[in-house]
Copies of this chain bind each other. A is one copy, B any other.
Amino acid sequence: MYRIKIGCQLGYTTSTANPAVFVVQPPAHQRQMIEREALRLIGATPAGEFADTFGNRCQRIMLLPGESQLRYEALATVPPEGDAIASEARQVPPEELPSHLLRYTLPSRYAETDKLLGFAWETFAHVPRGWTRARAICDWIHDHVEYKRGVSLPQWSAADTIARRQGVCRDRAHAVIALCRAFNMPARYAVSYLPDIDVPDDGIPMDFHAYAEIWLEGGWQVFDPHDRFPRKGRVFLACGLDAADAAFATLYGGARLSSFEVWADPIPLYEPARAQARNDARDDARHDRARAAAPAAVAPPLLAVVGGAPLA
Contacts and interface: CB of A to CB of B under 8 A. Distances in A.
A149 to B, nearest CB: 20
A162 to B, nearest CB: 15
Contact of A33 (B27, B77, B105, B109): B77
Interface string A170-206: 0000000000011110000000000000000000000
A13 interface: no
10 contacts: A31-B35, A35-B79, A52-B99, A53-B53, A94-B307, A108-B244, A114-B154, A117-B307, A181-B307, A184-B252
A183 B31 CA distance: 37
Given A31-B34, A31-B35, A306-B184, A52 B95 contact: no
Interface in A38-65: 47-48, 50, 52-53, 58, 60, 62
Contacts of A21: 102
A127 interface: no
Given A108-B109, A155-B114, A183 B33 contact: no
Given A109-B109, A306-B184, A115 B155 contact: yes
Contacts of A182: 307
Chain A interface extent, by class: 35 or more
Contacts of A155: 112, 114-115
Nearest to A1: B77
A269 interface: yes
A60 B184 contact: no
Contact of A99 (B37, B60, B269): B60
A307 B183 CA distance: 6
B35 A114 contact: no
A29 interface: yes
